[in-house]
Amino acid sequence: MEIQRLGNLKTALGECPVWHDGQLWLLDCRAGLVIALDADTGAVTARHEVPPPLGSFAFNADGRIVLALKEQICALDPRTGHLQTLARIDASHEHLRLNDGISMPDGSFVVGTMHVFREPGEAPLGGLYRLDTGLRLSKLDDGLGICNGPCVSPIDGRLHVADSERRVIYSYAVAGDGTLGDRRVFVRTDDQGSGPDGCCFDAEGGLWTALVRTGTLARFDAQGQLTRKIVLPVTHPSALCFGGPQMDDLFVTTISDSGRLSASGPLDGAVLKLTGLGCKGLVRPLCRMPLPPG
């Protein structure tokens, strides 16, 4: 296995890498940037600026990008830069914002919130939301402090969602109408010294997560047992995805200054590319939303 830096990009809060159309896409959330990189050279091939903070994004079938901003979900046309609001969540607070999200197999977009700097015993606002293919927004769950890493198991189709604050990854059964049920604890990461941040599955059903406070990646099998751990040359890895022509490279975003976490090492804020892992990932589905003309 080899770990290398991809290009010269340095992000404050690198997040949400997505392999799409032969390129690596990612966010710098604090800067409000959507960025595409050449996966071989790391050269920036696209750069779009939107109002920060950014939470996550997914590609729609018509080429537009579904974006989670602070408290609203929007659509960005990368050809024109036009930004449209699609939905707004049912809560608002200076320390609440939309965070990690994912396109689902049915074409919807599922995204969670983070509510930080709460008083002791104060319940988090927001929760886990779904924007369906009819552009209807519904709440799927609540009581989650920092939602991260939503991803769908290729083995049983269950949605896995991390609450980084509680250092736990939950799994949910997904009903035909997109609602969730049968919430279970998939794994707790207290013994790893960190909450789980971004997550993704490999094709064999192993869940990979960035342990943001220990500079490591961990892989858990379908039973939640730790099967692999990789130490990275960074302080705070944030998220990861498989990509490359054979879907066998692993790309990792990192943090130099998230507003709560900071680091000043030579690779903090860089994008890492891991090769030779011996496993493959899966292409992420597209959202299938009939977005308004714009």
Q: Which of 132, 197, 202, 268 is catalytic?
A: 197
Burial class (CB in 10 A: 0-12, 13-18, 19+), 116: middle
- Residue 203 C-alpha from the chain's centroid: 18
Prior bond of 53 cis (ω within 30°): yes
Q: Torsions phi, psi of 166, nearest 5?
A: -90, -5
What's the Cα-to-Cα distance from 100 to each of 8, 79, 142, 186, rounded to whole Å? 24, 24, 15, 18
Which one-letter amino acid corresponds to residue 138? S
Residues in Cβ contact with 266 at an 8 Å cutoff, skipping those fewer than 6 apart: none
Is 106 a known active-site residue?
A: no
Beta bridge partners of 72: 88
The answer to whether residues 160 and 168 touch, using CB atoms and an 8 Å cutoff, is: no
Beta bridge partners of 109: 103, 131
Q: 44-49: long-range contacts (C-beta < 8 A, 24 or more apart)?
A: 44/7, 44/9, 46/78, 48/76, 48/78, 48/81
Distance, in Å, from the CA atom of 29 to the CA atom of 13, rounded to the nearest integer, reads: 5
Burial profile 79-97: b = 16 or more Cβ within 10 angstroms, e = fewer: eeeebeebbebeeeeeebb
Active site residues: 197
